[in-house]
Structure 1
């Protein structure tokens, strides 16, 4: 299965966004447009006491997205950090694509400074269908993220910035967060599975 993945400029060092096609991993990718079982309102922060399974899934997937950004920032900044750490925050096609891009940037001597901020985060849908994990029918949460890289730079081997002066500082990406281990781990099994860059007005950079 081919997927279009939203990946941030620190993955390429040159462009703000790279829409990358990549083959899925060992897990079958969840449907990109699954019918949501519910569509909770925007949830910028995790609810301390989720009132339903959908609310709990929304909160846990939101935390997974935040962890994804933190881990990718770390791996782009520390060339010696183990890329296997990506498995704790990503799966399927997203895992393959971001691993390949970070590995490539390391080979080219690129290094990130600064961290990516999440300015807005909106939960679009929750689908708790866990009827056939082997076929990709697993619980998913679709989340739109407006990221901000105004404080992020990418340096080459000599320490010179390679970020284009025309790079936008913010933009939107829609992530599908899946839980292939929902039956055993409904709280901590969430991983970013796919991403799609969105063509819409970005939120303001911080």
Structure 2
């Protein structure tokens, strides 16, 4: 599976910032102690009020729990990058697992190394369930894990990534909106709190 459109984009600009930093300061990759960021604190909320909520009456049903995790995933993945230097590597453990968790941790590591941070939050515009499969046979080869798949439209027009001087490193041609597939799995099924985003995959579409 490929990385999230947001995560892959962040990793790309963070990698570029790290390279530029290394070339400019003898390879240490760190700003001088006298340098302070001119970026203002994030004012973007880590919530996504525009996203529709599940209408399932049972709060512990698979559909309700998996759908709620989509919002939590976007909120937490944003929040952990607001202040990377203070964020622990376990920051994403409550919302992601598998390849998606690896991608998020790699992005956080890059942000810590390059002294970059995110300003503003991703806005979830719409979430459409496209598939649900609750087959639970974890001991089979290959294993079958309960998974709910969504098509998510999100907006990053208010999201900026800045370097340690407060300068934006977001490519000017970044599209404000995109659609990606978000798969939420439960490796502890039927435990209601076991849902995590297992992978995200860009569709190449806008919304």
Contact 2:136 / 2:144 at 8 angstroms: preserved in 1?
A: yes
1:119-138 correspondence runs (5 A): 119-132=125-138, 135-138=142-145
CA shift for structure 1 position 123: 0.6
**Structure 2 unmatched ranges of 5 or more:** 16-50
CA shift for structure 1 position 188: 1.4
Residue 52 of structure 2: aligned partner: 44
**Structure 1 unmatched ranges of 5 or more:** 16-42
**Which secondary structure state, in structure 1, belongs to the residue aligned with residue 130 of structure 2?**
strand
Which of 68, 72, 77 aligns to 1:63? It is: 68
Contact 1:11 / 1:98 at 8 angstroms: preserved in 2?
A: no
Contact 2:150 / 2:183 at 8 angstroms: preserved in 1?
A: yes
1:181 is aligned to 2:179 = no
Deviations along 1:24-63, whole A, 9 cap, x unmatched?
xxxxxxxxxxxxxxxxxxx931225049x9xx22221111
Using structure 1 for the length normalisation, give the TM-score.
Answer: 0.75
Residue 158 of structure 1: aligned partner: 165
Contact 2:121 / 2:156 at 8 angstroms: preserved in 1?
A: yes
Using structure 2 for the length normalisation, give the TM-score.
Answer: 0.74
**Which secondary structure state, in structure 1, belongs to the residue aligned with residue 55 of structure 2?**
coil
Structure 1 residues 113, 102: CA separation in 2 closer, same or farther (over 3 Å shift)?
same
Residue 12 of structure 1: aligned partner: 12
Contact 1:6 / 1:196 at 8 angstroms: preserved in 2?
A: yes
**Which secondary structure state, in structure 2, belongs to the residue aligned with residue 99 of structure 1?**
helix
User: 4+ residue runs of structure 1 moved beyond 4 angstroms?
Assistant: none
Which of 106, 109, 112 aligns to 1:106? It is: 112
Structure 1 residues 145, 77: CA separation in 2 closer, same or farther (over 3 Å shift)?
same
CA shift for structure 1 position 11: 4.1
CA distance in 1, matches of 2:72, 2:118: 17
More strand by share: 1
Please report the RMSD computed on the Cα atoms of aligned residues, expressed in angstroms.
2.2
CA shift for structure 1 position 136: 3.5
CA distance in 1, matches of 2:82, 2:139: 34
Which of 189, 200, 207 aligns to 1:195? It is: 200
CA distance in 2, matches of 1:139, 1:175: 14
Which is greater in Rg? Answer: 2
Contact 2:14 / 2:110 at 8 angstroms: preserved in 1?
A: no
Residue 37 of structure 1: aligned partner: none
Contact 2:14 / 2:114 at 8 angstroms: preserved in 1?
A: no
